[in-house]
Chain A
Amino acid sequence: MVEDWTRQQILTAIGTTLTALAVTVLVVVVVFAVYAPLLVAHAPTAQNLDARFQPPGTEGHLLGTDELGRDVLSRIVYGSRASLGVGGIAVLLSSSVGMALGLVAALAGGVVEDTITILADAVLSFPTILLAIAVVSVLQYGMLQVGAAIGVVFMPVFARLVRAETKAVREEGYFRSSRALGSSLLRTVALHVLPNVLPRVVVQATITFALAIVIESSLAYLGLGTQPPNPSWGLMLRDARNALFHAPWLSVFPGLVLALTIFSLNFLGDRLAEHLGR
């Protein structure tokens, strides 16, 4: 028993440490995005052809410089804006529209529900990144467009989730009583459906945020996202491709920040889901 107890304590300690780490990472990334101009000594697009490929630790360039002599740290700090911006737009769009579609489908039923379900299934029958690529190839590559493209891809996920949850609530006594007592549909939804649906939507939104950031960086890596000279972590990795031998650090640091951000979102999403008992 005693052994189990200490073991449990160790596990809790590890969990707490990782949660703290994840929160810290996210706070740092948000601070990067918001206060970028105050944090860095160099403009992210400032070239210095006399100081190309400086290794990390060079005076004035903590993480070195790239093939145009641009400061890697500055580009990473500014690059957070592309990730968080696109991720934020994608999550807001997919969760709000997806939730609305899910609610409408569950409450309206019939043809409306069938149509929404078929559309959602059709969107889900594309590999995620493929659909994002197709939509982006049409919308072009601004932050808003890429965010919207990724948002469209994840809409059905929210629609399905909310639809299933709403249908379950609809059968509950409190939902029927509320309607029978004369509450409007809108009031009933706000008071009884949303509180049941929102926790799961928040968990899904956290995970979707991570996925959206992965897709954003993948698109940028493929040249279909943030366009040069603007900084984005995926684009930095794309630029680093030609310097694998003489400047390998260019392929490491942006990816490391990217991975830490994604891990933090996934981990917090998991903890949140556990906490909500799902």
Chain B
Amino acid sequence: MPSLRFFLGKLGRLIATIFAITSLVFIVLRVLPGDPARTIAGLDADEREVAALRAELGTDRPLGEQYLSWLSATARLDFGASFFHERPVVDLIRERIPLTLSLSVAAFAGALVLALPLGVAMAVRRWGAVDYLGMGFSHAAMALPEFWLAILLLLGFAVLLGWFPLFGAATPRHFVLPVVALALSRAAVLVRLVRSSMIEELDKEYVLAARAHGLPEPRIRYRYALRNALLPVITVGAIQFGYLLGGSIVIEQVFSLPGLGRLLLSAIYRRDFPVVQGGVIVTAVVFSGVNFIADLLYSAANPKIRMR
């Protein structure tokens, strides 16, 4: 297990990152857009209305004071109330986030299930038929923007073949195509990493030594080499999970799934800033949390890191 010092160090980093995220969101979404009160009230509102709104939102106070109250509210998960829904933002997010998270987790699992065996098979028979097919798949899937891949899946399996429903989230069947679209895109990246990492391990001397001792090849590959080859996959896997969270924003739009992405987008169309702020912060914090867990997993799997 990672030492306490290591854990605390990583935790400190996580807290610093979350602090940086909230500050960045404050600058980008609260300071740069100018006057939120003017935006909400509309261009034809008279000056008195706007001033009243400013007082209500607290945007008439000094920027430093606003920043501090913003930080303390954010720490309490208080993102204010949605202008449009007239409900607390945190409730809206709580309703929508399970769909987005389950979509991402399912796609991540799918990507691993595809990328791990394929990557290993490619590495074991380097420059073989499987290797070329795998590289072809990876190149092709990386060139297809996720949302177009999703559209193609819709055209093929929902419109032409009619195997899956078109839009919505009514049944588990509705989630098959979105998950496949997200998983294929991520697998395209992961498979290359598994392959190159596995090739590197198979070239190492301990593999040669194991072979010289006459250990069975599957055991060398899967018990020894794969275990070491998976280390970089943990770190990159976490980053890929972040892409999944971002990608699901777009994919939810393709399939009309009522997740966090759609909440965020409709909020942007309506200039409903509290919802945009809350959604962006929550997504970024989840992503940082995943990276944090990946760091811990990495250190648990790799004694060399722990000792530092």
Decide if A135 touches B249 in the complex (CB within 8 Å). no
Task: Identify which of A29-37, A189-197, A252-260 touches chain B.
Answer: A252-260
A126 to B28, CA, bound (A): 13
Chain B interface category by residue count: 35 or more
Min CB distance B149 to A, Å, is 9
Instruction: State the Cβ distance, B181 to closest chain A Cβ, in Å.
Output: 13
Q: Which residues 214-237 of A sit at the B interface, judged by CB distance below 8 A? A: 214, 217-218, 221-224, 237
Count of chain A residues near B, Cβ 8 A: 40
Q: How far is the CB of A246 from chain B (nearest CB, A)?
A: 10
A71 vs B51: C-alpha distance when bound (angstroms): 49
Does B16 interact with chain A (Cβ within 8 Å)?
Answer: yes
Q: How far is the CB of A188 from chain B (nearest CB, A)?
A: 33
Residues of B within 8 A of A241 (CB): 151, 254
A126 touches which one: B151, B276, B287 (CB < 8 A)?
A: B287
A127 and B20 contact, CB distance less than 8 A: no
Bound-state CA distance A83–B63 (Å) is 38
Known contacts A122-B20, A125-B288, A244-B159; A221 and B147 CB within 8 A of each other:
yes
Please indicate the chain A residues that have their CB under 8 angstroms from the CB of B20 in the complex. 118-119, 121-122, 125
Q: Check B276 against A237 for contact (C-beta < 8 Å).
A: no
Known contacts A122-B21, A258-B148: A130-B143 contact under CB 8 Å: no
**A125-B264 contact given A244-B155, A248-B159, A259-B145, CB 8 Å threshold:** no
A-B contact pairs, 21 of them (CB 8 A): A118-B20, A122-B23, A125-B17, A126-B21, A128-B243, A129-B250, A130-B245, A133-B265, A134-B280, A139-B32, A217-B148, A218-B145, A222-B250, A222-B265, A237-B147, A244-B154, A251-B155, A255-B144, A255-B148, A258-B148, A259-B148
Interface on A for B, CB 8 Å cutoff? 118-119, 121-123, 125-130, 133-135, 137-139, 214, 217-218, 221-224, 237, 240-241, 244-245, 248, 251-252, 255, 258-260, 262-263, 266-267
Interface, chain B (partner A; CB < 8 A): 16-17, 20-21, 23-25, 28-29, 32-33, 139-140, 142-148, 151-152, 154-155, 158-159, 166, 242-243, 245-247, 249-250, 253-254, 264-265, 268-269, 276, 280, 283-284, 287-288, 291
